[in-house]
Amino acid sequence: MELFNISLLFFITLWQSTLQHIFLNKFYGNYQKSLNIQNELHSAKYRYEIKTIDMPVDHFSFSVLNTFKLRYLINGTWQKTNNAPIFFYTGNEGNIETFAQNTGFMWDIAPEFGALLVFAEHRYYGESMPYNNKSYADLNHLGYLTSQQALADYVDLIQYLKSKPKYKNSPIIVFGGSYGGMLSAWIRIKYPHIVQGAIASSAPILQFTGITECESFLRIVTSDFKKAHSNCPKLIRKSWNIIMNITSTNEGKKWLSDNWKLCQPLKNENDIEQLISYLQDIYTNLAMVNYPYKANFLAPLPAYPINAVCKHLTNESLTGIELLIAIKNAINIFTNYTSETKCLNLNNSTPQLDAIGWSFQACTEMVMPICSDGINDMFKPHTWNLDEYSNDCIKQYSVKPQPNLICEKYGCKDLSTATNIVFSNGLMDPWSSGGVLRNLSSSAIAIIIPESAHHLDLRSSNPNDPFSVVLARKYHRFFIKKWINEYHEIKK
């Protein structure tokens, strides 16, 4: 895809429960701002009709009869015949136009397959609000934001499309990256009679309690920086104590605030925690978007931005103020590559609807433990504490997380019955820690992409794409063609 998500994108990394929500709001604030710019850049290239369909607020109740307008985008430019394949994007945490304009692989292959393109918006994101401006008002309105309800939305939309004579026997192939990739995998697992196959890119369906070690995610981030230069993660690891020491005095806080050009000066312990969260946020984002060409995902960045960052962090003897100046110059690659940023805003935590939506999901079913030990990774040590995390969620939303719910609903330890899914994971992507890295069955295939960051294979083709990414896309095409042919054989 041209410039996609995260959200994962997507998603939920943090080290302490109180820091997690700071991270989420700040991450998604920057994320949505960046993607709004990208929408303008790509609107001329990707064209579609915007439509809506009435959806039940609650698919699983006979007493809640409310409905809402679910938005979806459709493009039939390349459809050549009746019963054309339907390439269906399972929308994740954001405005669906963002994903339509940033999932270039689907657009690249639509002419080859004569496919109809459909991009479905996830409820509670973009404009698909079940209760309009009251959707986030309280738990009574927000409680229908779950992956299960979203999958049921997609099933209803698919069934509606196939109720039309010209799509009656159309095979359905779903696509998704990050959380969207999880949804693609889950809809094939849960509704195999509806969906014929799924391309699930960078889908961490195993990043859950008792399945994946919480340290794995940040160790991959560290490995990415170590690959750029062996001293780079060592200096980042060293910087945490130096930051804590220098900010222990008012004079030190002032120096750091002035030298780093912070929009708001550091004043207290909460500000210091926010600064640390901000830095960890940047390092993690860099690992996800370490693409082989210039990109504008999350921020305008050069090719392989981690290499550019680590050029400032090669001298192992750096310490004290000298190291902090080097860290500032390094993170400027992410925060100010265009030289247009006047100051660093550590307090960019005003929640937007998308930020609130994912934060709620992280407090209910999408509980994805991440921690660091500061020894095998370059981060400040933080343990995963479910009790603290739960208390924070109870305070914010009056909900208690259910860390085992996803594995109970979709499966984690035993996925041997899964079929017709391609799980693709880049080894440079920290979310591969919770990805499917080995074949689950003869037709649920794991594709490992050594040179890929976060769902690079779903971006549009680029002359600088590594061979492993080009090859992964060929595998995608092979399996898509296979699933379509198998479907038509059954329908004969």
Which residues are designated catalytic? 178, 429, 454
* Residue 64 near residue 57 (C-beta atoms within 8 A): yes
How crowded is residue 44: how many other Cβ atoms within 10 Å of its Cβ? 8
Give backbone dihedrals phi and psi of 89, rounded to 5 degrees, phi first: -90, 125
- Across the strands, what pairs with 301? 295
Question: What is the token pair recorded at 354?
Answer: 């998308």
Gap between the Cα atoms of 327 and 228, Å rounded: 15
* Residue 181 near residue 434 (C-beta atoms within 8 A): no
Alpha helices by DSSP H, listed for 53-192, are: 96-100, 104-113, 139-142, 147-162, 179-190
Q: Containing H/E element for 144? A: none
CA atoms within 13 A on the CB side of 128: 33
Q: Is 485 exposed, middle or buried (0-12, 13-18, 19+ CB in 10 A)?
A: exposed
Gap between the Cα atoms of 353 and 364, Å rounded: 17
